[in-house]
Amino acid sequence: MKDSSSEHEFAIIPTIVSGNQETVVIQFLKTASKLVKQAITLEEIQEVWQKINALEALSKKFRLSKEVQLDATELRIRLERRLGEILSKKKQDREENIKEQLDKLSLVSDNFKNVQQNHHRFTKNELSKFQRLASTSHEVFEAVLTDLRTEAAINSQTALSTTGILRAIRNEQKKNSEPLFSPIIKPSDNWNFSTVKYGRIDEKFGEYRGYIPGEIYANCFWYYVKPGDLVVAPMAGSGQVWRVYEARQEWMGQHIYDFQLEMFDLTPRGKYKDLITPHDLTKNFPVENPDYIVIDIPYYGMVNQQYSDKPEDLANMTLEDWQVAIAAIAKNCALAQKTGTLCTIISPNYREVANGLIVIVTDIIRYSWESAGYILHDKAYSSRRIQQHQTPQMARMNNHAKANRIMLTDITEILTFRRV
Ligand SMILES: C[S@@+](CC[C@H](N)C(=O)[O-])C[C@H]1O[C@@H](n2cnc3c(N)ncnc32)[C@H](O)[C@@H]1O
């Protein structure tokens, strides 16, 4: 790669720095960048590296503009990556013993006595850094280099450096090694959660009757809510929905976005009580134009007197009254929502093992919402995990169910309707 003209130009650096230093250094940097392209062998690259290193030191010593300083540093780092590539390749090919090669790498340049020591030998540490630069993909290297250079240009506290680049690359790789999506978000319509992270939040720990795992809300939000949407939970109870919303960083991860959540309930309770407005949903819908409604409805027949002793509490109604109330709620949702918006109702079916009563509650819900002006848009299923704890009592219930030929109810349906 011998280029005697450019070597000659470099030879005069120390003498010209007193003149129009910046213009001259820029000129030398241009020559250096040509040399970077031409250098092929390790020795040639190291020679160019030393020249660029000298220019970098000069640009700092004579306080040339930040841009010129950064040009020099960037050129040096690019060359270091090249050097790393060659070293790695040689290692792979086993063409030569790296150590021997590296020992040969000592650079002599009489032209830079004023600004740096002669016979620079790359340390093992430096060479390992160059190889790490080389092992980074082109895209990541270029992105990180651009970011750090821009930051160094606008912030006098930060400098562009090989170590800084490697640190940023490490952070970038760490970010990329995080799973793309949380395991809480289910990839299919089977929303089963073997371990529940967002379990019941009021005082009765371990008691899940009438309480869906918060993970169901997370999946509803993920699949049905867009950034900025107005979301309403009109049967928010003790506010599980709020806890899940607040913790959305955990299950949205890198894809986090905000939306507006409003909560209502006939009998607000628990630690989020103050955030939940008392409201009877059979009367009317409390908010206009919600983009999305999610209702964890009181399971017919399963949670009698659990939330309150009020007659307007759906949990306390006879089947006939419950059906009328459900139809009224569907109408109220339809009156509040615009065409194309979604409304999710969460409910299991009902079976009574003792007397053989079977109520396909989810069909009543579907009929009510379709009659009110919706069509069924989507459906998912989640286990209530009733078999999770095989206690003697569970064994008795199982035997009872089998003997009476009535299945126990385990599946919760997540029915999502679209307003037409
Ligand atoms: C299955 S629970 C919802 C529990 C909720 N997921 C939580 O985090 O606590 C059903 C809720 O519906 C409420 N509810 C019952 N009848 C209602 C009515 N007429 N209007 C509004 N809410 C009602 C109950 O108070 C209860 O909190």
Q: Residue 167 domain-assigned?
A: no
Q: Can you give the pLDDT at residue 92? A: 57
Q: Can you give the pLDDT at residue 19? A: 52
Domain end, chosen from 106, 135, 164, is at 135
Instruction: State the residue range of the domain holding 385.
Output: 214-419
Q: Residue 219 domain-assigned?
A: yes
Rounded Cα distance between 395 and 397, Å, is 5
In this structure, the answer to whether residues 260 and 405 fall within a common structural domain is yes
Query: Is the beta carbon of 327 within 6 A of some atom in ligand 1?
Result: no
Ligand 1: residue whose CA is nearest its atom 5: 237
Q: Ligand 1 center to residue 270 CA distance, Å? A: 12
For a pocket test of ligand 1, which of 266, 317, 382 has the largest count of ligand atoms closer than 8 A to its C-beta? 266
In this structure, the answer to whether residues 396 and 259 fall within a common structural domain is yes
In this structure, the answer to whether residues 274 and 407 fall within a common structural domain is yes
Q: Can you give the pLDDT at residue 285? A: 98
Query: Is the beta carbon of 336 within 6 A of some atom in ligand 1?
Result: no
Q: Residue 335 domain-assigned?
A: yes
Q: Residue 143 domain-assigned?
A: no
Q: Can you give the pLDDT at residue 107? A: 38
Q: Can you give the pLDDT at residue 91? A: 61
Q: Can you give the pLDDT at residue 344? A: 98
Q: Ligand 1 center to residue 241 CA distance, Å? A: 12
Q: Ligand 1 center to residue 67 CA distance, Å? A: 63
In this structure, how many other beta carbons lie within 10 angstroms of the beta carbon of residue 166? 18
In this structure, the answer to whether residues 221 and 128 fall within a common structural domain is no
Residue 83 contacts residue 45 (beta carbons within 8 Å): yes
Q: Which residues of the chain have pLDDT under 50?
A: 1-9, 11-18, 95-96, 98, 105-117, 205-209
Domain end, chosen from 135, 168, 195, is at 135
In this structure, the answer to whether residues 255 and 112 fall within a common structural domain is no
In this structure, the answer to whether residues 302 and 401 fall within a common structural domain is yes
Q: Ligand 1 center to residue 210 CA distance, Å? A: 9
In this predicted model, what pLDDT tens digit does every residue of 261-307 receive, in sequence order? Answer: 999 999 999 889 999 999 999 999 999 999 999 999 987 766 677 78
Q: Residue 163 domain-assigned?
A: no
Query: Is the beta carbon of 235 within 6 A of some atom in ligand 1?
Result: yes
Q: Can you give the pLDDT at residue 365? A: 98
Q: Residue 22 domain-assigned?
A: yes
Helix H, strand E, coil C: the string for the chain is CCCHHHHHHHHCHHHHCCCCHHHHHHHHHHHHHHHHHHCCCHHHHHHHHHHHHHHHHHHHHCCCCHHHHHHHHHHHHHHHHHHHHHHHHHHHHCCCCHHHHHHHCEECCHHHCCCCCCCEECCHHHHHHHHHHHCCCHHHHHHHHHHHHHHHHHCCCCCCCHHHHHHHHHHHHHHHHCCCCCCCCCCCCECCCCCCCCCCCCCCCCCCCCCCCHHHHHHHHHHHCCCCCEEEECCCCCCHHHHHHHCHHHHHHHHCCCCEEEEEECCCCCCCHHHEEECCCCCCCCCCCCCEEEEECCCCCCCCCCCCCCCCCHHHCCHHHHHHHHHHHHHHHHHHCCCCCEEEEEEECEEECCCCEEECHHHHHHHHHHHHCEEEEEEEEEECCCCCCCCHHHHHHHHHHHHHCCCCCCEEEEEEEEEC
Domain end, chosen from 135, 158, 177, is at 135
Query: Is the beta carbon of 6 within 6 A of some atom in ligand 1?
Result: no
Residue 304's alpha-carbon distances to 239, 315, 354, 368, in angstroms, are: 20, 5, 17, 22
Query: Is the beta carbon of 266 within 6 A of some atom in ligand 1?
Result: yes
Query: Is the beta carbon of 370 within 6 A of some atom in ligand 1?
Result: no
The CATH number of the domain where 397 resides is what? 3.40.50.150
Ligand 1: residue whose CA is nearest its atom 23: 266
Number of domains in the chain: 2
Q: Residue 168 domain-assigned?
A: no
Q: Can you give the pLDDT at residue 7? A: 46
Q: Residue 398 domain-assigned?
A: yes
pTM of the model: 0.64
Residue 380 contacts residue 189 (beta carbons within 8 Å): yes
In this structure, the answer to whether residues 236 and 350 fall within a common structural domain is yes
In this structure, the answer to whether residues 118 and 260 fall within a common structural domain is no
